[in-house]
A and B are shown apart, each in its own frame.
Chain A
Amino acid sequence: MIRRLKTDSFKKPALVGGLLLVFVLGLANFPDFALRLYPDSFLDGQLRRIRRNTIRIQGRLDCAEATLSALDHVRENGLPHFHEGFSYPSETGEKQTTRRVKAQQTADYAELTELDYLRQRLGRLRKNDE
């Protein structure tokens, strides 16, 4: 019961117009154009984006640190029992676990450094504009 596509009611001008609008909006958001068209609000938006990402990564780092302490606790005291009949993983990989958490932490630190550098660059750009 596949209905045939009604090609005669297809709105071609609307599609072309929509695509053109998306193209123009995308172009206006491109840094080279945006810095000439609306530099202040563009830089403000970028700073806010960087600030938001920085906060999120700080959260992830704190989470990784807390997970590592929780893993230390598990290593010292064993896996906790939540309730009767609680099922455990059949194969554990403790070394891999710690390594994975630490690798994630390193990647987060690297991203944080990069964001910090970007923020400084944007700050300098804004000062130069003023």
Chain B
Amino acid sequence: MNGPSKGTPLRRLVIRVFAGAILCVLSAYALFTFLIYPFYGLRGFDREQYEAAIMKAAKDFAPSESLAVSSLIRSRFEALGENEDAYAWGSVSLLSPRGDRVYLWVSLKWYGSWHRWRRDSIFIMADPRDRLFYAESVLALGSFKKTIYAIQNYRRETLRQVREVLLDRNPS
């Protein structure tokens, strides 16, 4: 039985460099999406300072979509128990450069063991690019358009998160 073919040294080197590059990109993406971005800029806020944390998340978000923060509309805090995980959410009013009002949803989670707030979800409500505004026939189940739309949305959100971190000039 012959052993597996290993190819020329140059080919092996190219494959290794390519695999290494892909691994680096994937690791950087995972690190940013799951560890850096969710906690970014929310250090220093106590469990009871949930409104300030929501506003900070909104203030960080706004420039990434060329918007400005107007005011906190409503917020709510729910805790599992004392010194345990807690949840806070609320809606914030934003203004576009043209003066259009846009509403932002911010949902945060407090990790009792880490003593840190983390972004659970943050998005513009009734966003004109939202799936909500497309008729079912356009983004039907199994439709190729739906896949393209989902990929575009995911790419746009990731780029927005990177923009948010890069644009934040006064990190706490």
Chain A residues packing against B (C-beta within 8 Å)? 1-4, 48, 51-52, 55-56, 58-59, 62-63, 66-67, 69-71, 73-74, 77, 79-83, 86-94, 96-97, 100-101
| Contact A69 B103, CB 8 Å, known A51-B80, A55-B87, A82-B65 | yes
B55 to chain A: which residues have CB within 8 Å? none
- Whether B80 pairs with A80 at a CB distance below 8 angstroms is no
Pick from B7, B101, B105, B133: contact of A63, CB under 8 Å: B105
Flag whether B142 is at the interface (Cβ < 8 A).
no
Which applies to chain B's interface (DSSP): helix, strand, loop or mixed? Answer: loop
A83 to B64, CA, bound (A): 11
- Whether B125 pairs with A93 at a CB distance below 8 angstroms is no
CB distance from B32 to the nearest CB of A (A): 24
The interface on chain B, measured as residues whose beta carbon lies within 8 A of the other chain's beta carbons, has a size of 36
- Whether A83 pairs with B66 at a CB distance below 8 angstroms is yes
| Contact A101 B132, CB 8 Å, known A1-B5, A63-B89, A90-B138 | yes
Measured CB to CB, the nearest residue on chain B to A101 is B132
B73 to chain A: which residues have CB within 8 Å? 66
B125 to chain A: which residues have CB within 8 Å? 63, 66-67, 70
Pick from A55, A89, A94: contact of B128, CB under 8 Å: A89
Interface positions of B from 119 to 148, Cβ below 8 Å from A: 125-126, 128-129, 132-138
- Whether B6 pairs with A73 at a CB distance below 8 angstroms is no
Pick from B4, B80, B132, B137: contact of A1, CB under 8 Å: B4
B105 to chain A: which residues have CB within 8 Å? 63, 66-67
* Residue of B7, B66, B133 with highest tally of chain A CB at under 10 A: B133
A89 to chain B: which residues have CB within 8 Å? 128-129, 133-134, 138
